[in-house]
Structures are given as structure tokens and as C-alpha cells.
């Protein structure tokens, strides 16, 4: 509760400063809108359903692209971490490819798929696949060896060893990979949507720019932050914290 | 006990003795005078529960040279015996347990259980790791049940045995707790219950009480001694604590430091139940310790000034 009080004070102060700066009219209101202008934009956006549609479209893309990258990333990560040859060859390539910002995949995606839904999904996939793969691979390596030994000692082998011991033992690392993958997928998707046509939050952001509607720009930015935070900060972090506590990875 | 006495002894025993071996229960060694096969051999022959036959293990160090970790270790453990292995840290005593458990292969030699060579892990030998290796994603009950599940024991029987073993280690109330919610001593007991629940003939314990405070350790000694005498299992217990070894063991085997060899064996004939503080335990431990001192010094030398060693 104390933390909550601090946060209330902080955000009130932030809004206060914003209000004062807007009132002082140092910059024209169409470049620096007051809080209530952004509030209006938010209200209007939801009232005419454009924000709802944007959120729905973005989340749908996110769900498809992200699920795809989690499944593929896990398979790839498992393959790389369990095969010495793949680790030394493909593993290195994946790490170096990760230095490529996901927006760099856009030209390639456009040429391959045109300005289509497929191209957007491709960018999302490439944006998060590598981080899921690498996190998965790291997880397999960091997983304490003792669990595998204990499992074998108690008579587990083959698929059952994998399913009942190795998989649950690496769960904290898998969740960490999923979290990272989500963060990358989210950023890639918004970037891609800003370039492609077709609804979505990124598109709404660019529409605000085209209409010189700073209030809408900020409103959409706030939406992106809130949505991103809700999934990353609330769902994933809670999951991660619980797991780490349970697995004794942090002094709980 | 094995129904195949011909194969009862490791090949180190001269061939003439191998057929129709008759062993003395109290010494666990073949009586050389007996060469004929008794008419009802099974009742009289005591096959060692676990026999190590000239076990050696070497590995490639990072420097590229081959290091010998275990050197020609032969050892026999009688059914129902409580054997303690002591040695300085780095003598390979944990490694030896891993070999017996079948988790790692030895370079040469054989591990025999009931006279049959071991290849790979088996639930007849359960190892309790120093770090325990309890599964944090399972409850206490789930951990105890795990080995039985892997053996495809039916649900009703699993249920019954989980209850039984949890009662045995006084943890019935904690069945639904997770491992992180338990104290160190309780975790030890879960590990013990998990190991016992798979119904192993041999219990391998790798310094299980090293990280516990003295009171908890004493309590667990009492419990272990009780469980051992109630269940009649064979226990091979590794520790660096000589007094613990004397307090628990029927026999104490002393290992040398790098490479690990069997230096000496001590029989402990003190009456049970024993206590760590008992004078005769302390006296016997003193004898063992005198013998161990050289090895401890070598181990310390290696740890403090590694450059001087070889």
C-alpha cells in the first residue's frame, strides 16, 4: 500500500508538471497537447471504436506471431542445445542474427510477401524467434544437472525423463524466454504496423501523425505502453516471480 | 540373494574358489576350505549385495593429461550392512557412489549387485545426493511418489506407500508442501522417503547430513539407524566426518587422496544405538582419524598450494 501511495503521488506530480507546461503555452497545443486533450483523444478513439479495433487487430497478430515464434523457438532451442554440431554452427549464427533490429526484416518481408498480413507476421516471428531460441538454449544449459541425475537415479529415462524431469526443471528458463520473446514480438509488431497499412495500433499512431493530431499520437502511445506493460509486467513477471520462488532461485 | 552363486563373486577371486563358494555371514569373505558345492547352497552362500571389482576411473583434465581419480578399488558389501566410506575431499568417494548408482561409467573394473554386473541406473540402488536433488515443482508427496510412478506402480499402491514412508520420516503433515517451504532437515527426510519409496535394496548416501546443524544431524542419525534396522537395507554412506562414520557404520572404509584407493578398513563393533558423543565412538574415531591424517594433509596441501603438487 505504501508503494501504491508513492506511485499515486509520482503520477499526480507528473500530470501536474504536464498541465503546467501545457498551460504556459511554450509550445503550440497541436504540438504539445494538455492532458485533457489526450484524454479526449482516448475517449473519442474508444467511442468511435477505432481503438477497440486497433487493439483487437494488434492483439490477434500478436497472438499468432508470438505463438508461432514460441513453438518454433522452443524446438529450435532444444535442437541447438542438445546437439553439439548444431550448437557450434547454428547457435553462433542465431546469436549474431539477434543483433539485427527486427525492423531490418521489413524490406525483406515486403519483397517476399508484399504488403500483407503474412509480411507483418514474418517480422514479428523474426523479431522474437531468436530471443526465444537463445533463452531456451541457455535454460537447458543452466538447468542444474542434479535434476536429470536424480531423475535417472529414480528410474526415469527417455521421453519420461524429458517430460517429467527435464521439462519442468527448465520451466523457469522457458518462462524467461517466453517473456523476452513477448517483449521483442511486441516491439517488432508495432514497428511493422507503422509501416504496413491495415488497422492495428501502429497504424493508428501513424494516422495521428498524418493528421497532425498530437493528442491521438500520445493517446495511442499510452495504449501501447499499457497493453505491453499489462502482459509483460503483470502476467509474465508474476509468473516468473512465483516460479523463481518455488524453484528456490531467489531468496523468497 | 542371487539364485546364481556361480556368478556370485568378482573375478578377482581365484577361479577355484568361485564355484561353490561358501561365505561366512559375519566376515563376508569366502571360506577357502570349502571347495565343494553344498547341497542347498542358496541358504548358506552370502553373495555380497554390492561388490566392486577392481574399479578404476580416469578422466581427461583440462590440461589434457589423464588423471586417475579412482585406482583399483575392490570392496564387498554384505546384505544389510551399513558401510561408511570416509576420505578427504577430492578422494573420489562421491564419484564412487555415482558409479555404483550407474549414473557414470567406470573406466575399468566391474560393479556387481547380487553378483550381476551393473550397467546404468536401476531402482535397486538409490542414491541420495549431497544436494538432494528434490524436485521443486512437485510437492513432498509428489517427490516421494516419483520413483514409483516411473516404475508404473498402481495408483492405490503408490498412495499407500507414500503415506507409509511419510509417516516413517514424520512428514505426513507436510505431504502437500513444496520443497522450498521446508527446513534443511525436513528436506533430508523427504529425500530419504523418496529413496525408500522405490524400495531399493541398496541405499547410497552422499554426505547427506553435511550441511545440517548438529542437533538436526543427530536426530537424523537416530532416524536413519532406526530405519536401517527396521528395513534391513544395505547402506553405503559417504562422509568426510570420521565420527559420523563410526557412529553409523558397521564398517568404515578409508580412502586415500588422489587417486582414490582403499587405504584401510575398520570394523566397528560398538553396540547400537550409538551416539556421536559416546566415549568409545570418539576413541574409535580417533584411531581412524590417525590413519586418515596423512590423506587430509595431502588434500589440504593440494587445496592451498596446488602448484606444489606434482
pLDDT tens per residue, range B249-285: 888 888 877 787 777 787 878 777 888 888 887 787 7
Nearest residue in chain B measured CA to CA from A165 = B135
Higher pLDDT, residue B154 or B306:
B154
DSSP codes of every residue in A50-112 = HHHHHHHHHHHHHHHHHHHHHHHHHHHHHHHHH-HHHHHHHHHHHHHHTTS-GGGHHHHHHHH
Convert the pLDDT of each residue in B125-183 to its tens digit: 888 888 888 898 888 888 999 888 888 888 888 888 888 888 877 888 888 888 888 88
Listed in sequence order, the residues at least 6 apart from B205 whose beta carbon sits closer than 8 Å to its beta carbon are B97, B127, B128, B235, B236, B237, B238
Convert the pLDDT of each residue in A20-51 to its tens digit: 998 888 888 888 888 888 898 889 888 888 88
The whole-angstrom separation of Cα B115 and Cα B140 is 35
Contact A247 B198 (CB under 8 A): no
Residues from chain A that touch B178, judged by Cβ atoms under 8 A, are 246
CB B128 within 8 A of CB A149: no
Report the pLDDT averaged over residues A216-237. 88
From the DSSP assignment, how many helices (H) and strands (E) are in chain A? 13, 0
B307 band by pLDDT with thresholds 50, 70 and 90: low
DSSP H or E stretch at residue B206: strand B202-206
Q: Which of A160, A164, A246 sits opposite B136 (nearest CB)?
A: A246
Contact A150 B101 (CB under 8 A): no
- What per-residue confidence (pLDDT) applies to A117? 87
Task: Give the pairing type, strands B82-86 and B66-77.
Answer: unpaired
Residues from chain A that touch B179, judged by Cβ atoms under 8 A, are 248
A67 band by pLDDT with thresholds 50, 70 and 90: very high
A250 band by pLDDT with thresholds 50, 70 and 90: low
CA distances from B160 to A56, A152, B145, B166, B208 (A): 52, 24, 10, 10, 26
Q: What is the pTM of this model?
A: 0.70
Q: Is the pLDDT of residue B211 over 80?
A: no
- What per-residue confidence (pLDDT) applies to A9? 94
- What per-residue confidence (pLDDT) applies to A8? 93
Name the DSSP letter for residue A164. Answer: I
Report the pLDDT averaged over residues B122-127. 83
Nearest residue in chain B measured CA to CA from A159 = B150
The whole-angstrom separation of Cα B264 and Cα B223 is 28
B147 to chain A, closest Cα gap in Å: 5
Least Cα distance to A48 among A221, A228, A216, A226 occurs for A216
B182 to chain A, closest Cα gap in Å: 11
A235 to chain B, closest Cα gap in Å: 19
Nearest residue in chain B measured CA to CA from A151 = B147
Higher pLDDT, residue A67 or B184:
A67
- Helices of type H across B103-154: 140-150
- What per-residue confidence (pLDDT) applies to A11? 92
- What per-residue confidence (pLDDT) applies to B3? 42
| Length of chain A measured in residues | 252
The whole-angstrom separation of Cα B131 and Cα B210 is 10
CA distances from B42 to A234, B23, B78, B232 (A): 67, 11, 15, 19
- What per-residue confidence (pLDDT) applies to A6? 92
- What per-residue confidence (pLDDT) applies to B33? 40
Q: Is the pLDDT of residue B1 over 50?
A: no
- What per-residue confidence (pLDDT) applies to A13? 94
First CA to last CA across chain A, in angstroms? 20
Listed in sequence order, the residues at least 6 apart from A197 whose beta carbon sits closer than 8 Å to its beta carbon are A115, A203
Amino acid at each position: 500500500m505504501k508503494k501504491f501511495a508513492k506511485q499515486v503521488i509520482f503520477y499526480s506530480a507528473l500530470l501536474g508538471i504536464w498541465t503546467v507546461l501545457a498551460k504556459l503555452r511554450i509550445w503550440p497545443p497541436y504540438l504539445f497537447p494538455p492532458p485533457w486533450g489526450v484524454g479526449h483523444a482516448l475517449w473519442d478513439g474508444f467511442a468511435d471504436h477505432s481503438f477497440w479495433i486497433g487493439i483487437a487487430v494488434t492483439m490477434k497478430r500478436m497472438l499468432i506471431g508470438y505463438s508461432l515464434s514460441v513453438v518454433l523457438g522452443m524446438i529450435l532451442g532444444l535442437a541447438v542445445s542438445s546437439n553439439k554440431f548444431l550448437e557450434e554452427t547454428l547457435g553462433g549464427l542465431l546469436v549474431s542474427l539477434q543483433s539485427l533490429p527486427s525492423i531490418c526484416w521489413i524490406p525483406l518481408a515486403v519483397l517476399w510477401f508484399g504488403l500483407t498480413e503474412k509480411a507483418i507476421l514474418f517480422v514479428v516471428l523474426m523479431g522474437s524467434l531468436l530471443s526465444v531460441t537463445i533463452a531456451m538454449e541457455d535454460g537447458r544449459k543452466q538447468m542444474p544437472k542434479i535434476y536429470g541425475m536424480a531423475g535417472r537415479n529414480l528410474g526415469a529415462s527417455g521421453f519420461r525423463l524429458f517430460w517429467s524431469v527435464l521439462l519442468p526443471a527448465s520451466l523457469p528458463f522457458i518462462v524467461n524466454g517466453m517473456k523476452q520473446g513477448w517483449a521483442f514480438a511486441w516491439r517488432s509488431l508495432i514497428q511493422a504496423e507503422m509501416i504496413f497499412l491495415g488497422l492495428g495500433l501502429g497504424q493508428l499512431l501513424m494516422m495521428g501523425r498524418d493528421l497532425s493530431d498530437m493528442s491521438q499520437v500520445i493517446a495511442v502511445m499510452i495504449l501501447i505502453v499499457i497493453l505491453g506493460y499489462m502482459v509483460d509486467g503483470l502476467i509474465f513477471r508474476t509468473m516468473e516471480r512465483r516460479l523463481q520462488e518455488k524453484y528456490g532461485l531467489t531468496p523468497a | 540373494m542371487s539364485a546364481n552363486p556361480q556368478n556370485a563373486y568378482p573375478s578377482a577371486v581365484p577361479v577355484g574358489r568361485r564355484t561353490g563358494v561358501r561365505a561366512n555371514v559375519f566376515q563376508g569373505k569366502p571360506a577357502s576350505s570349502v571347495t565343494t558345492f553344498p547341497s542347498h547352497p542358496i541358504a548358506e552362500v552370502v553373495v555380497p549385495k554390492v561388490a566392486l571389482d577392481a574399479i578404476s576411473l580416469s578422466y581427461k583434465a583440462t590440461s589434457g593429461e589423464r588423471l586417475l581419480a579412482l585406482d583399483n578399488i575392490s570392496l564387498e558389501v554384505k546384505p544389510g550392512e551399513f558401510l561408511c566410506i570416509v576420505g578427504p575431499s577430492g578422494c573420489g568417494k562421491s564419484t564412487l557412489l555415482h558409479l555404483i548408482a550407474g549414473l557414470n561409467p567406470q573406466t575399468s573394473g566391474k560393479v556387481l549387485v547380487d553378483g550381476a554386473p551393473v550397467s546404468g541406473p536401476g531402482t535397486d540402488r538409490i542414491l541420495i545426493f549431497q544436494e538432494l536433488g528434490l524436485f521443486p515443482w512437485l510437492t513432498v508427496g509428489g517427490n516421494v511418489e516419483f520413483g514409483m510412478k516411473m516404475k508404473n506402480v498402481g495408483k492405490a499402491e503408490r498412495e499407500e506407500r507414500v503415506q507409509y514412508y511419510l509417516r516413517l520420516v514424520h512428514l505426513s503433515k507436510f505431504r502437500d508442501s513444496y520443497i522450498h517451504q521446508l527446513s534443511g532437515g525436513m528436506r533430508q527426510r523427504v529425500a530419504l522417503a523418496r529413496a525408500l519409496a522405490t524400495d531399493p535394496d541398496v541405499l547410497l548416501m552422499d554426505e547427506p547430513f553435511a550441511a545440517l546443524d548438529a542437533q538436526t544431524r543427530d536426530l537424523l542419525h537416530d532416524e536413519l539407524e532406526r530405519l536401517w534396522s527396521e528395513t534391513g537395507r544395505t547402506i553405503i554412506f559417504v562422509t568426510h566426518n570420521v565420527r559420523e562414520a563410526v557412529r553409523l557404520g558397521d564398517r568404515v572404509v578409508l580412502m586415500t587422496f588422489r587417486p582414490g584407493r582403499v587405504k584401510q578398513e575398520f570394523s566397528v563393533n560398538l553396540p547400537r544405538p550409538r551416539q556421536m558423543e559416546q566415549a568409545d565412538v570418539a576413541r574409535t574415531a580417533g584411531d581412524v582419524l590417525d590413519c586418515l591424517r596423512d590423506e587430509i594433509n595431502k588434500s589440504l596441501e593440494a587445496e592451498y598450494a596446488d602448484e606444489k603438487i606434482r
